[in-house]
Amino acid sequence: MIQVEGLTKRFHDNKRGEVIAVNNLKFNCQKGKIYGLLGPNGAGKTTTLRILATMMRPTVGKVKVNGFDVIQEPDEVRKQIGFLSGETGLYDRFTPRETLKFFGRINGMEDKIIDEKMGEIFQALDMENFKDVRVSKLSTGMKQKLSIARCILHDPSVLILDEPTVGLDIITARTVTNYVESFKKQGKCVIYSTHIMREAEKLCDVIGIIHHGKLLAQGTLEELKKHSSLEDLEEIFFELIEQENKTK
């Protein structure tokens, strides 16, 4: 599970001076649940997920993944997580099989285990017919399947997905969202960032609406509707954003 408390990230920008990318965030995500971070571009979603994935350090606050602290025990945290983003590139000059072998090895897996796991994943994701084709020759959908395979190869219990459908066509995007649902069924804890309302509504058990680095509201879809007296997530979202912009 994921516990985030008082998470703040400040950094210095030459043009803008001190920037608060994430401001005092607090949320939890349990096993078998999907927590959606919904927000416009620049809201602080990616920074939050990079901190969860140990790529960045928080300025203030506590972040724990399965009980491991991201600052104190980053190596342990990395064993727990799988990270996937729309931008997560792949090595063009390698085949899916070689890609997975490489990532399996640097994730401390034995070759025999990698081969077994790879076989399972190729079948489950229907990758058999392109497992030995170089990535540069694959379609976007095939590439995204490989990205998912890379992300789950070492069987992580926590998945951090940063806008995984961005830039994908609807068919490929649906493949990705179907897998996200299957992660939930497997009892994994999933953090999912998106700016697409429909995805958040469909996938997430709990939705946190984030803007200017602040968590404006969080709860189940029903709770958000009840609290705002609005029926549509998009309406709720714009209402909250408008209020926040007025206070700025």
Our CB check for other proteins shows the closer of 150 and 212 to be: 150
Q: How far is the CB of 147 from other proteins (least distance, A)?
A: 8
Per CB under 8 A, the list member of 19, 30, 91, 187 interacting with other proteins is: 91
**Residues contacting 53, CB < 8 A, separation 6+:** 77, 78, 81, 83, 160
Question: Which DSSP helix (H) or strand (E) runs through 197?
Answer: helix 197-203
Q: Which two tokens stand for residue 48?
A: 């939050």
Inter-residue contact 3 to 64 (CB < 8 Å): yes
Distance between CA atoms of 17 and 170, rounded to whole angstroms?
A: 39
Nearest CA to 159 out of 193, 126, 194, 209 is that of 193
Q: Is residue 56 at the binding interface for other proteins, with CB under 8 A as the rule?
A: yes
Our CB check for other proteins shows the closer of 86 and 207 to be: 86
Q: How far is the CB of 156 from other proteins (least distance, A)?
A: 10
Q: Is 54 left (phi over 0), alpha (psi -120 to 50) or beta?
A: left
Distance between CA atoms of 212 and 206, rounded to whole angstroms?
A: 20
Query: What secondary structure letter does DSSP report for 150?
Result: H
Sites for other proteins among residues 4-43 (CB under 8 A): 11
Our CB check for other proteins shows the closer of 92 and 242 to be: 92
Sites for other proteins among residues 106-145 (CB under 8 A): 106-108
Distance between CA atoms of 33 and 210, rounded to whole angstroms?
A: 19
Sites for other proteins among residues 151-180 (CB under 8 A): 154
Segment near other proteins (CB under 8 A), from 93-101, 163-171, 172-180, 195-203? 93-101
Q: Judged by CB under 8 A, how many residues of this single chain contact other proteins?
A: 30
Q: Is residue 78 at the binding interface for other proteins, with CB under 8 A as the rule?
A: yes
Q: Is residue 3 at the binding interface for other proteins, with CB under 8 A as the rule?
A: no
Distance between CA atoms of 24 and 5, rounded to whole angstroms?
A: 7
Our CB check for other proteins shows the closer of 46 and 194 to be: 46
Q: What SS3 class is residue 23?
A: strand
Our CB check for other proteins shows the closer of 105 and 227 to be: 105
Judged by the rule CB under 8 A, the positions of this chain that interact with other proteins are 11, 50, 53-57, 75, 78-79, 81, 83, 85, 87-94, 98, 102-103, 105-108, 150, 154
